[in-house]
Amino acid sequence: MTTTRTPASAAGRYVDARLGVARLAKVALRKVFPDHWSFMLGEIALYSFVVLLITGTFLTFFFNPSMTEVVYNGSYVPLKGIPMSEAMNSTMNISFDVRGGLLMRQIHHWAALMFLAAIAVHMMRVFFTGAFRKPREFNWIIGVNLFILGILEGFAGYSLPDDLLSGNGLRIAEGITRSIPVIGSYASFLLFGGEFPGSDFIPRLYIVHVLLIPGVILALITAHLIMVVFHKHTQYPGPGRTNSNVVGYPLMPVYLAKAGGFFFLVFGVLALLGAFVSINPIWNYGPYHPSPVSAGSQPDWYMAFLDGALRLMPGWETHLFGWTISWNVFVPAAVFPGILFTALMFYPFIEAWISGDRREHHLADRPRNQPTRTGLGVAGITLYALLMIAGGNDVLATLFHLSINAMTQTLRVLVFVVPVFAFWLTRRLCLGLQRRDRETVLRGSESGTIIQTPSGEFVEIHTPTTPQRAFALASHDSPAPLELPAAQDPRGVRRPGSRALARLRARLSHFYFADALTPATPAEVAAVVHHHDEPTPLPVGDNPQPSTKA
């Protein structure tokens, strides 16, 4: 082999001599990524974040985060001569007096909404395919924290222009801060530097928005991606795709082109939105002032579930010994999201404890094969969606000629009922789909052709299932529920640990896995082929040895 002496290789050698990158590049450039559209959802979030950094940097050159009052004298006539904060004034100037300013502002805001929406759907994908399981639990926690930080970052950005809409949003944030038991008033005074609105909050929020939170997000994204590379991506089960390999396209060149191209596509779509779809037209809202308020005052979509929870909560307060506890505010705005996100964060550990499964998992679950988890996920999404509806109930009421009172009262019930129903329905659907998968493997799929047998019977021809499809449909595990271990081990020594906890674990394990079907086995297929006119009983998971029939 002759070594070529091109300028590129010379440059490569120059860099490698100083950084030794060739060793790394050799491995990294051949790294394989499985190809599936649902694996690109996180990339949408990542690229939206890059777009946010680019456009946000542009905006900082023109934005002035000051609450000093100035008189607007820009080119937008209906606000001429109106006193407003420097923050609002500079945002107005960005919108109407800086070339490319409005474009950047609108792209920035759309990208923020997209960032969080993409995180949400990415989380759904990870949840429903069980991609949070060992060894990826830590990365799931990072992901949940990125979502929380994204929400805070978005709210900070939404508040910076100091317009009437976001100013009332801050007013609400201040009211929520006051509701913290015991220290509420002090917490509010620390945040706002005294009484609301004061003159400190926008500058403080600004540094939080442009440095503190983005810095943490950037660090967490880096850790998130390093872990993705280290663990290698999960893949969907299929022929040739096992728990011990990863099948896909190499980074160089295919994934570089696809992922790189996708960045431009995400940016392009955001640019289209920014160019042609109005978002947060602050000139319509006017500057913040404590007296006015606008109908239809809502936060951006990712905060809507909290606003909805605030709207639905009944007006309960406790007044005791000269102290107030505002359940009506603190519960929906702090306790509820606290519980929600904590549960989300620890879900991988909870599920692992219930299943007792300590293996590494690199194959994505098909959601139907985990009916209880899928049901829980759908229930959670349903609850979130109902709260979002509650958060926009006034807009929906005017659009669909409903009464906000009736909507609120109905939703107060529905947030408890519908998620339970959604759970039950999803679980049944999953079990039904599992049954169909079993049938497909055992008897093939219906071909639509009906023949008459010599005995005069009409039978539909079933197309036999290919080995590839059978493998894809029936290679998953179906965990059996844990049984409550005897209180004493065989030698009569009491087992360590809480008995009540063990009982809870066994009960939860039954709740999770008792109904699951075991996948079809070759033995069962053989049995069906031999006695194809006898119905095969469907073995279920709590039948410990389903394959003994064979």
User: Which of positions 321-350 make contact with another protein (CB under 8 A)?
Assistant: 322-326, 328-329, 332-333
Name the residue among 512, 350, 518 with its Cα closest to residue 427.
512
Q: What distance in Å separates the CA atoms of residue 544 and residue 255, rounded to the nearest whole number?
A: 45
> Residue 287 in contact with residue 85, Cβ under 8 Å?
yes
Q: Which is nearer to another protein, 143 or 541 (CB)?
A: 541
Q: What distance in Å separates the CA atoms of residue 63 and residue 72, rounded to the nearest whole number?
A: 15
| Interaction between residue 370 and another protein (CB under 8 A) | no
Q: Which is nearer to another protein, 144 or 313 (CB)?
A: 313
Among 145, 408, 410, 536, binds another protein (CB under 8 A): 408
Q: What distance in Å separates the CA atoms of residue 550 and residue 548, rounded to the nearest whole number?
A: 5
| Interaction between residue 413 and another protein (CB under 8 A) | no
Q: Binding-site residue total for another protein (CB under 8 A)?
A: 191
| Interaction between residue 110 and another protein (CB under 8 A) | yes
**3-class DSSP assignment, residue 181:** coil
| Interaction between residue 518 and another protein (CB under 8 A) | yes
- Any idea which residue has 């759907």 for tokens? 121
Among 222, 294, 447, 488, binds another protein (CB under 8 A): 294
Residue 249 burial class via C-beta count within 10 angstroms: exposed 0-12, middle 13-18, buried 19 and up: middle
Q: What distance in Å separates the CA atoms of residue 411 and residue 434, rounded to the nearest whole number?
A: 33
Work out whether strand 458-463 and strand 445-452 pair parallel, antiparallel, or are unpaired.
antiparallel
The C-alpha angle with vertex 532 and arms to 528 and 533, in degrees rounded to 5, equals 135
> Which structure tokens are listed for 75?
């080119």
Burial state string for 487-524 with b = 16 or more CB within 10 A and e = fewer than 16: eeeeeeeeeeeeeeeeeebbebbbebbebbbbbbbeeb
Site for another protein in 58-97 (CB under 8 A): 69, 75-82, 95-97
Among 401, 491, 494, 530, binds another protein (CB under 8 A): 401
Among 7, 315, 490, 492, binds another protein (CB under 8 A): 315
Among 21, 211, 219, 293, binds another protein (CB under 8 A): 293
Q: Which residues pair with 460 in a beta bridge?
A: 450
Task: Enumerate residues 6+ apart whose C-beta is below 8 A from 446.
Answer: 460, 462, 463
| Interaction between residue 106 and another protein (CB under 8 A) | yes
Among 356, 413, 511, 549, binds another protein (CB under 8 A): 356
Q: For residue 122, which amino acid is it? A: H
Q: Which is nearer to another protein, 177 or 374 (CB)?
A: 177
Among 66, 410, 478, 536, binds another protein (CB under 8 A): 478
Residue 217's Cβ-side half-sphere holds a number of Cα atoms within 13 Å equal to 26
> Residue 200 in contact with residue 330, Cβ under 8 Å?
no
Q: Which is nearer to another protein, 16 or 66 (CB)?
A: 66
- Any idea which residue has 């620390």 for tokens? 190
Among 268, 413, 417, 501, binds another protein (CB under 8 A): 268
Minimum CB–partner distance for residue 461 and another protein (Å):
22
Minimum CB–partner distance for residue 142 and another protein (Å):
16
| Interaction between residue 248 and another protein (CB under 8 A) | yes
Site for another protein in 176-195 (CB under 8 A): 176, 178-186, 188-191, 193-195
Minimum CB–partner distance for residue 75 and another protein (Å):
5
Site for another protein in 196-235 (CB under 8 A): 196-198, 200, 204, 230-232
Binding part of the chain for another protein, among 137-145, 207-215, 448-456, 476-484 by CB under 8 A, reads 476-484
Minimum CB–partner distance for residue 341 and another protein (Å):
20
Site for another protein in 144-173 (CB under 8 A): 164-165, 168, 171-172
| Interaction between residue 445 and another protein (CB under 8 A) | no
Q: What are phi and psi of 289, to 5 degrees?
A: -150, 145
Binding part of the chain for another protein, among 57-65, 103-111, 215-223, 337-345 by CB under 8 A, reads 103-111
Minimum CB–partner distance for residue 91 and another protein (Å):
13
Q: What distance in Å separates the CA atoms of residue 116 and residue 132, rounded to the nearest whole number?
A: 19
Question: How far does Cα 360 stand from its chain's mean position?
Answer: 22
Q: What distance in Å separates the CA atoms of residue 414 and residue 412, rounded to the nearest whole number?
A: 6
Minimum CB–partner distance for residue 520 and another protein (Å):
8
